[in-house]
A and B are shown apart, each in its own frame.
Chain A
């Protein structure tokens, strides 16, 4: 017979205001097995834990029930408490009388009655508990970073700095992400390339960092500490070890129809190209869709001019298989396509551009070499209208756009407006805004400078229509402060388009079983207290993949993610959860149902001699890999023979709980 102690927590007034804690402690006193019960203000406090430990010693308890908050909060705490008093930590049950009782009820009598039932259910379960031993699993001391933007680069640098190996898998031919496309950066207006490219070089020269560019992660299996990933490195038809990045081939290539993605398709590039001068790796890549040789077999010019002999038209995709202890998601974002918001006329007018396109038009390495010329006729625009919140802050689930604020556009619009006025003081600049949101160190000062010192005309209102009239764009909008409708004949319109996660994010989330919100941003384990971890163990979040943010915030988060990765990789072993599934071979008939429902691929089948009372035969039976099983329990409810059981949550234990509740 077990000796059970029950400890009822007040949680200050959180529980005690709605539940009569004394009555609960009193009511369970005579339950079978219970030899001790008490209540206390804060069980989780040092004094509360000591109360538990003293009772364990004094009454030789074999198990404890703590009636308190959700097990998500303090199960681990009380397990440790029990363990240090010599109890098996899995002989601890939590009755959640806060989230599932005091917080959701108003009537004290009802709440108290429910708390008693929940306590009795936990006691019944505990009577069926058996001590469990946690195992250990090894940690592979290598980190995989998916996405090589500033977030991925920073995380990789910090993890490598601690001495661990890092692979960055980047889908584009170069690392750098969106930041590489920017001109100047707020709030200091230093040039993006000047601060980014040294970091890119640092990453490429770091012995611990291995950059796998033009690649994607195809498959991930395993679990925290020992993931296995399959990476497909796409053929670039150029030997990375030979190409010197001289870019001679790119100037000779006769195919000129490929859109230059790096310049937001504002100009064309050759079929063989290097995305930009400071690309890392600085290696050419052939676009097979555009290459004449690969499509028709003729040409081969680049091979002839390449003195390094790097061109290889026969190169094939390469599959890389590697093991990792931790995975960081740093997949970043893209601006939305504003074409469906047809009032802005983006699809029909070349001179209506997105802000990222505008960055390229202002950039010295962009299609206009940094002279601001409008795309339609190459003329210098004299009047520019910026429109904020395009496709952001819309009613949820509508075609108008995203429900969230994209967070960066107020600041970069102020930046754009200021840069234009600085470079071309004869240009009129108007900004339509709903609100100007500039919290952040030196951010509001930055925006005020745009308005006060640079004379940018901020108009509180929104644009309802952009229509072409001659060579002008007629912008019709409201000016709510002046209570009038304004009509501005503009030469160019710049849309501060909402940002959304990279289109591959959803598939990465599914691959990693990492949860995402309805907008496809990765969800953090706790919105306040665990902002850089995914709820899935071993998966960490860095940069805009988790939610809109600017560069300073991205870098801070990237460092935070790195510190979590380092904390994990520094361990030689991880304690595994012993609450995993187990199949009873005598009852299993090898039907394969469980394998189909297991989301982690933990179940396999073996042909095996099964021996039992009256049975002796070779049968196909299920086997659970305890290192892979996460204890979700999907198999136990699926098994038609009742052969699958979850340790710590066996059918017997659960039914004992249900019985206790029904007896009420």
Chain B
């Protein structure tokens, strides 16, 4: 794997916490996915492609926005692989590099004034802590 691909793979694995080697290639996730037909790459392919280091292809694909984040695949996977979390991680990686405006958890307080609802803060903390 060339260096960039390796870096991207490691990032995807770190953000998602997923270990694609656990996948037994049963296809249950893709049998479950309610938005399968709209997606170019399907949940089991996310797992396989991340394992093979093909993250860039995934980042360029519309599939990362078509995933409904329903996490049905995560719930059903017999091996506890959690493909939906990988989709989410690749999506985050794509969004963060687009405008290079990724904020860390430490940056959040400076946006927090009275007009920002508490829930939003909590949600942001949860999401961007990674």
Residues of B within 8 A of A485 (CB): 30-31, 33, 36-37, 42
Query: Counting CB contacts under 8 A, is A460 at the interface?
Result: yes
B31 and A464 form a contact (CB under 8 A): yes
Q: Which of A476-484, A582-590, A635-643 contacts B (4 or more CB under 8 A)?
A: A476-484
Residues of A within 8 A of B13 (CB): none
Residues of A within 8 A of B72 (CB): 464
B79 and A394 form a contact (CB under 8 A): yes
Per-position 1/0 for B67-99, Cβ under 8 A of A: 000001000111110000000000000000000
Bound: A385/B122 CA distance, A: 46
Residues of A within 8 A of B25 (CB): 434, 480
CB nearest neighbor in A for B79: A395
Residues of A within 8 A of B76 (CB): 343, 400, 464
A462 and B79 form a contact (CB under 8 A): no
Query: Counting CB contacts under 8 A, is A401 at the interface?
Result: yes
CB nearest neighbor in B for A434: B26
A478 and B28 form a contact (CB under 8 A): yes
CB nearest neighbor in A for B43: A478
CB nearest neighbor in B for A485: B36
Residues of A within 8 A of B36 (CB): 478, 485
Bound: A464/B44 CA distance, A: 13
Bound: A449/B23 CA distance, A: 30
Assuming A434-B25, A480-B44, A485-B36, is B78 touching A395 (CB within 8 A)? yes
Query: Counting CB contacts under 8 A, is A389 at the interface?
Result: yes
Bound: A400/B22 CA distance, A: 15
A260 to chain B, nearest CB (A): 32
Interface residues of A in 391-412 (CB under 8 A from B): 393-395, 398, 400-401
CB nearest neighbor in B for A465: B32
Bound: A461/B26 CA distance, A: 6
Query: Counting CB contacts under 8 A, is A463 at the interface?
Result: yes
B26 and A389 form a contact (CB under 8 A): yes
B26 and A462 form a contact (CB under 8 A): yes
A476 and B31 form a contact (CB under 8 A): yes
Query: Counting CB contacts under 8 A, is B112 at the interface?
Result: no
A126 to chain B, nearest CB (A): 50
B22 and A464 form a contact (CB under 8 A): no
Assuming A478-B44, A480-B44, is B78 touching A460 (CB within 8 A)? no
B80 and A464 form a contact (CB under 8 A): no
CB nearest neighbor in B for A481: B27
B40 to chain A, nearest CB (A): 11
B31 and A478 form a contact (CB under 8 A): yes
Residues of B within 8 A of A393 (CB): 24, 26, 78
Chain B contact patch, size range? 20 to 34
Assuming A389-B26, A395-B22, A434-B24, is B78 touching A477 (CB within 8 A)? no
Interface residues of A in 227-268 (CB under 8 A from B): none
A361 to chain B, nearest CB (A): 25
Interface residues of B in 9-48 (CB under 8 A from A): 22, 24-33, 36-37, 42, 44
> Which of A461, A464, A483 counts the most B-chain CB atoms under 10 A from its CB?
A464
Residues of A within 8 A of B42 (CB): 478, 483, 485
B83 to chain A, nearest CB (A): 12
Residues of B within 8 A of A460 (CB): 27
A398 and B80 form a contact (CB under 8 A): yes
Bound: A523/B128 CA distance, A: 48
Bound: A124/B90 CA distance, A: 64
Bound: A432/B27 CA distance, A: 10
Interface residues of A in 369-427 (CB under 8 A from B): 389, 393-395, 398, 400-401
Residues of A within 8 A of B27 (CB): 434, 460-462, 477-480
Q: Which of A394, A462, A483 contacts B31 (CB 8 A)?
A: A462
Residues of B within 8 A of A461 (CB): 26-27, 30-31
Bound: A432/B32 CA distance, A: 14
Q: Which of B26, B30, B32, B80 contacts A343 (CB 8 A)?
A: B32
B22 and A477 form a contact (CB under 8 A): no
Bound: A464/B37 CA distance, A: 14
Bound: A350/B67 CA distance, A: 33
Residues of A within 8 A of B24 (CB): 393, 434
Assuming A343-B76, A398-B80, is B32 touching A464 (CB within 8 A)? yes
Bound: A461/B28 CA distance, A: 7
A463 and B31 form a contact (CB under 8 A): yes
CB nearest neighbor in B for A480: B27
Residues of B within 8 A of A434 (CB): 24-27
A524 to chain B, nearest CB (A): 27
Residues of B within 8 A of A400 (CB): 76-78, 80
Residues of A within 8 A of B77 (CB): 400
Assuming A478-B42, A485-B36, is B28 touching A464 (CB within 8 A)? yes
Bound: A118/B37 CA distance, A: 67
Bound: A395/B80 CA distance, A: 6
B25 to chain A, nearest CB (A): 7
CB nearest neighbor in A for B45: A483
Bound: A401/B28 CA distance, A: 14
Bound: A400/B32 CA distance, A: 15
CB nearest neighbor in A for B30: A478
Bound: A567/B72 CA distance, A: 56
Bound: A535/B22 CA distance, A: 33
> Which of B24, B29, B30 counts the most A-chain CB atoms under 10 A from its CB?
B30
Residues of B within 8 A of A464 (CB): 28-33, 72, 76
Bound: A389/B77 CA distance, A: 13
> Which of B22, B24, B26, B76 counts the most A-chain CB atoms under 10 A from its CB?
B26
20 contacts between A and B (CB under 8 A): A343-B32, A395-B79, A401-B78, A434-B25, A434-B26, A461-B27, A462-B26, A462-B28, A464-B30, A464-B33, A465-B31, A477-B27, A477-B31, A478-B29, A478-B31, A480-B25, A480-B44, A485-B30, A485-B33, A485-B42
A residues in contact (CB < 8 Å) with B: 343, 389, 393-395, 398, 400-401, 432, 434, 460-465, 476-480, 483, 485
B residues in contact (CB < 8 Å) with A: 22, 24-33, 36-37, 42, 44, 72, 76-80
6 nearest CB pairs, A to B: A464-B32, A464-B31, A462-B28, A478-B27, A478-B31, A478-B30
7 additional A-B pairs beyond A389-B78, A461-B31, A478-B27, beta carbons within 8 Å, are A389-B26, A464-B28, A477-B27, A478-B42, A480-B30, A485-B33, A485-B37
